[in-house]
Amino acid sequence: MGIPSDLLPYRKPHIKNKRLTDPHVVIVGAGASIAACKYDKNGVEVPVLKNIHKVLGLETAIKDYGFSVSDIEDFEMFYSSIATKPKYKDLAAYLENAVRDYFKKLELPDEPTYYDYLILSLTEKDAIISFNWDPFLAQAYRRNLKVGNLPMMIFPHGNVGMGICEDCHTIGYADTLCSECYNEFGDMPLLFPVGEKDYGKHSIIKFQWKQAQEYLSHAAGVTVFGYSAPVTDREAFDLMKNAYQESGMKEIALFEIINLESVREEQVTRWEELFNKKMMIYTDTLKNTQLWKFPRVSLEALFDAILQCHPREENKSFQSFNSLDDLQAFVKTIDEYELYFETEI
């Protein structure tokens, strides 16, 4: 039964024992951290990189090198302009450390955040690729570990919540010990804004990119959450685009964009090389996505509906929970992972 796969304009989803094996990949950027946690547990505002020199009081150090602070409209552009010049080496290092220290101190509030929902909406076949440095995603992951069956986290720009052991080539939570040699983890490199990012320079970053590409190359669904794919980072966009094209599922793969309504047109144009129009959903909140409506089975619900004409009931959608315990208890009741099918799809 069905159309022979060589006549289809797309590849069929990979299925093993009635379970989908293709990942749902979520790409997160600064907008996701702001949606998850605008103020941290201690009331500290999470700064955007653009004006971080003002928030962190780095202006004096910048002035000491003869720059006029009022001329700096964008920290990223300023940093990028000095980073590769030997005479500003010390200033660049100083700014980098100050930013890292600030991010390190941020703490996720106790109540459930969008990052908790996001992590718990996916399973171990899936991945979250985060371009953020803040530790919120890693902190949310850690407190949900006990639920089990969680996605992979990937940080192609580095992250202050994660640490690395250079000797063992391992990665783990920043304030823990390496599981191989029991030494403390060192800082994971942060890729600061420079015109040409060299993703191959650090082996750990190179590995993060390899993993990101691997997941995207067989993704059956992509959600872009608060990541605007800045034109200054064309390399990242191209790496992701090329990997995703390999998946061969554009015609039936879900593509969701969560971003501000004010940037809808610009963002749809930005990403349209990657999606099929009829599969694209644009929204300004996680609550309108397949992840919220069908947590843990986002793509299973999609393929049951479009390939099997057997839509699932939305009776296990997320609600807004007041406590993390309630959210976790709810997630544990979701167990219908099998696809509905009588014939192979």
Q: What amino acid is encoded at 328 in this protein? A: Q
Residue 45 vs 180, nearer CB to Zn ion: 180
Q: Is 281 in the site for Zn ion (CB under 5 A)?
A: no
For residue 147, which of 288, 333, 15, 309 has the smallest C-alpha distance?
333
Show the CA angle centred on residue 36, arms to residues 41 and 131, nearest 5°.
Answer: 110
Residue 171 CB, nearest distance to Zn ion (Å)?
A: 10
Residue 69 vs 181, nearer CB to Zn ion: 181
The burial class, CB within 10 Å (0-12 / 13-18 / 19+), for 199 is middle
Residue 107 CB, nearest distance to Zn ion (Å)?
A: 26
Q: Is 188 in the site for Zn ion (CB under 5 A)?
A: no
Residue 188 CB, nearest distance to Zn ion (Å)?
A: 14
Integer CA distances (angstroms), 225 to 21, 49, 179, 262, in order: 22, 17, 32, 15
Residue 164 CB, nearest distance to Zn ion (Å)?
A: 9
Rounded to a whole number, what is the largest CA-CA distance in the chain? Answer: 74
Residue 110 vs 184, nearer CB to Zn ion: 184
Dihedral sign of CA atoms 201, 207, 208, 214 in order: positive
Q: How long, in residues, is the chain? A: 345
Residue 166 vs 198, nearer CB to Zn ion: 166
Non-local CB neighbours of 181 within 8 Å, separated by 6+ positions = 165, 167, 168
Residue 185 vs 192, nearer CB to Zn ion: 185
Q: Is 220 in the site for Zn ion (CB under 5 A)?
A: no
Residue 283 CB, nearest distance to Zn ion (Å)?
A: 42
Residue 139 CB, nearest distance to Zn ion (Å)?
A: 22
**154 contacts 141 by C-beta, under 8 angstroms:** no
Q: Is 52 in the site for Zn ion (CB under 5 A)?
A: no
Non-local CB neighbours of 128 within 8 Å, separated by 6+ positions = 25, 26, 27, 28, 118, 119, 122, 137, 151, 152, 153, 154
Q: In DSSP terms, which residues pair with 127 in a beta bridge?
A: 25, 152
State the binding string over 128-167 for Zn ion (x if CB under 5 A, else -).
-------------------------------------x-x
Compute how many residues bind Zn ion; rule: CB under 5 A.
6
Residue 174 vs 252, nearer CB to Zn ion: 174
Residue 52 CB, nearest distance to Zn ion (Å)?
A: 32
Residue 188 vs 216, nearer CB to Zn ion: 188
Q: Is 260 in the site for Zn ion (CB under 5 A)?
A: no
What residues numbered 162-181 form the site for Zn ion, per CB under 5 A?
A: 165, 167-168, 178, 180-181
* CA–CA distance, 251 with 143 (Å, rounded to integer): 36
Q: Is 44 in the site for Zn ion (CB under 5 A)?
A: no
**145 contacts 45 by C-beta, under 8 angstroms:** no
Which residues contact Zn ion by CB under 5 A?
Answer: 165, 167-168, 178, 180-181
